[in-house]
Structure 1
Amino acid sequence: MAPRANWKGFLRLSLVTCPVALYSATSESEKISFNQLNRKTGHRIKYAKVDADTGEEVENEDIVKGFKVDTDTYIEVSKEEFENVALESTRTIEIDEFVDRSEIDPRYLIRPYYLVPDGKVGHDAFAVIRETIRELNKVAIGRVVLTNREHIIALEPLDKGLMGTLLRYPYEVRDPQEYFDEIQDVKITKDMADLARHVVNQKAGRFEPERFEDHYETALIELINQKRAGKPITPKEKPDAGNVVDLMEALRRSVGGAAAKAEAPKKPAKKPRKVASGQKEMLMPIVGKKPAKEAAPKKPAARPQRKSA
């Protein structure tokens, strides 16, 4: 099943326009997720929208958004009134300017999207815009409305498509001086700097995302598999953080540790898992469950039994 577009509209550079669709470039659906349960019954917890004063449940069609102006005073804004805020960026990404990628502060980056032509028409115009950005080696800056908010979006070529990264507004970025003012000014000796630089050089490498593994996710899968199999759960010992007080001694130990690790025989790289199935493929099958083609006729659902932790 094809992914659902987060937004559809038009991409425009001056008089050149083409229909486009915006898709989320990332997903967390493969991560282990949990539901909240009633410890006493094992039933899933359900959340209801209730009136804060009467305690009565409110239907979705009776819920409107409100801006709080006082303790008990709100300005209500209906769905129709939101739609009347007709910004051009609601349906069109207008490229306003081109900037160097290095000029975009990383703190302003929010999340990436894929931008592709929508339908069979407009591929020529899309290619013209894409290749113009690529040739200039710039990032195109425009605006787009997502989830009732206008965002700045930075567009840059990625293979045959465009990658659009949502950017924050200046008022969304906090002043670092509020956090950095109390950091002491420390003078670093040459010996310390040399040792630290040596550690960094020994650990130098290339950014290869496929080598990364979510260790916490793996530990969760192991925990779930153990509970499924009815095995006892024993707490693991926490690693010792060490207690080296002398900074020079800590740096010397770091140099020795990095050197030993570099000389150790390298383990063969793990075969990356299939992206489609993710880490959940490691979960063991439910005991007694048959393959789909041999599945027996369904029986009436019985109340699930819980296993205590």
Structure 2
Amino acid sequence: MAPRANWKGFLRLSLVTCPVALYPATSDTEKVSFNQINRKTGHRIKYAKVDADTGEEVASEDIVKGYKVDTDTYIEVSKQELDDIALESTHTIEIDEFVPKTDIDSRYLIRPYYLVPDGKVGHDAFAVIRETIRSMNKVAIGRVVLTNREHIIALDPLGKGLMGTLLRYPYEVRSEQEYFGDIQDVKITKDMLDLARHIVEKKSGAFQPDRFEDHYESALIDLINKKRSGVDLTAKAAPKTGGNVINLMDALKRSLANEREAPPPAKTKAKKPRKAAAGQREMLLPISGKRAKEEPAAQEPKQEPKKAEKAVRGAARSKKAG
């Protein structure tokens, strides 16, 4: 099922307007997630909204927003008051300016979205705006309102659509001087730089995100596999941490020697998109229990690691959907 649009409205460049929809370009639903449960009963933990002083649970209709001005003082703001100051740009992405992409500091980037025409009309206007941005080799800067907040959005052509990246405001970005001020000024010799460059050259390659592996996610899936199948778990020894480098030049030389001895990384084909798992039944191993004893079933063949991983991810998705 295609994801739901986070926002629908209009994209406008001067007098050229077209209906558009904004979709999230990333997702965390593939990751294994956990619920908090009661160790004694095995039941899931739920949270209630309670009054901090009386301890009594508060109904949703009695909860309002408040801005804290003192320890026990809040300024109450109603939904009607918030609606009254709603911005005019709520349903329109207005393009204000065009800037070189290289001018955007990466610290200002928040998250990416896909912007597409909404419906069967306006595709020609959308194409005009998209190709205008592409031909100028720049990024369009506009404004969009999401969850009652106005955000700056950078629009960049991506194939037949537009990629919109939300940007932070200047007050949200901390100055690096707060952190870099105590870094010492040191003199690096040419020999050290040359050795370091050789190491970088040995490790250089094309950006291939398909080769990225989430080792922690794989370890989580392996842990769940073992616990479901009743395998006894043994504690791993703590990893050894590297000691202080006594001779930096010697360390660089050893690093370069290790890189020369290591085989080149194997070329990998692009992975095919994962198919959604059928559901909880396909989550790695069957759970043994009363039903399993009453109705002995034929043994299911062991799943390959990658298949088991897909099954766990499918179960995680179906849990979240529920």
Distance 1:104 1:268 in 2: 33
Match for residue 175 of structure 1? 175
Match for residue 63 of structure 1? 63
CA deviation after TM superposition for structure 1 residue 193, in Å:
1.0
TM-score scaled by length of structure 1 = 0.88
Q: Aligned in 2, Cα 1:225/1:271: closer, same or farther, shift over 3 Å?
A: farther
Distance 1:195 1:283 in 2: 49
Cα pair 1:68 1:75 within 8 Å, conserved:
yes
Where do 5+ consecutive residues of structure 2 fail to align? 292-296, 298-322
Structure 1 stretch displaced more, 238-247 or 183-192:
238-247
Q: Percent identity?
A: 71
Q: Aligned in 2, Cα 1:266/1:170: closer, same or farther, shift over 3 Å?
A: closer
Query: Residues 267-307 of structure 1, C-alpha deviation per residue, up to 9 Å, x if partnerless?
Result: 463773633449x99951434699xxxxx9xxxxxxxxxxx
Q: Aligned in 2, Cα 1:46/1:62: closer, same or farther, shift over 3 Å?
A: same
Distance 1:183 1:272 in 2: 42
Question: Which residue type is aligned with residue 258 of structure 2?
Answer: G
Where do 5+ consecutive residues of structure 1 fail to align? 291-295, 297-309
CA deviation after TM superposition for structure 1 residue 78, in Å:
1.5
CA deviation after TM superposition for structure 1 residue 2, in Å:
2.6
Q: Aligned pair 1:72/2:72, yes or no? A: yes
The CA RMSD over aligned residues, in Å, is 2.3
Distance 1:44 1:240 in 2: 37
Distance 2:184 2:40 in 1: 52
CA deviation after TM superposition for structure 1 residue 121, in Å:
1.1
Distance 1:121 1:155 in 2: 20
Distance 2:100 2:270 in 1: 37
Query: Residues 10-68 of structure 1, C-alpha deviation per residue, up to 9 Å, x if partnerless?
Result: 10000001111101000000100000111111111100111111111111111111111
Cα pair 1:31 1:217 within 8 Å, conserved:
yes
Cα pair 1:36 1:44 within 8 Å, conserved:
yes
Match for residue 14 of structure 2? 14
Structure 1 stretch displaced more, 17-26 or 82-91:
82-91
Q: Aligned pair 1:251/2:261, yes or no? A: no
Cα pair 1:19 1:117 within 8 Å, conserved:
yes
Match for residue 124 of structure 1? 124
Q: Aligned in 2, Cα 1:34/1:21: closer, same or farther, shift over 3 Å?
A: same
CA deviation after TM superposition for structure 1 residue 188, in Å:
0.6
Distance 2:238 2:117 in 1: 51
Distance 2:187 2:102 in 1: 30
Cα pair 1:9 1:92 within 8 Å, conserved:
yes
CA deviation after TM superposition for structure 1 residue 120, in Å:
1.2
Query: Residues 161-217 of structure 1, C-alpha deviation per residue, up to 9 Å, x if partnerless?
Result: 100000000000001000000000010111111111111111111111011111100
Q: Aligned in 2, Cα 1:239/1:257: closer, same or farther, shift over 3 Å?
A: farther
Match for residue 274 of structure 1? 273
Question: Which residue type is aligned with residue 169 of structure 1?
Answer: Y
Distance 2:199 2:65 in 1: 55
Secondary structure in structure 2 of the residue aligned to 1:250: helix
Distance 1:141 1:271 in 2: 33
Distance 1:115 1:156 in 2: 10
Distance 1:271 1:160 in 2: 21
Richer in helix (by share): 2
Distance 1:275 1:84 in 2: 45
How many pairs does the alignment contain?
Answer: 288
Cα pair 1:155 1:163 within 8 Å, conserved:
yes
Q: Aligned in 2, Cα 1:40/1:10: closer, same or farther, shift over 3 Å?
A: same
Cα pair 1:196 1:251 within 8 Å, conserved:
yes
Distance 2:276 2:209 in 1: 17
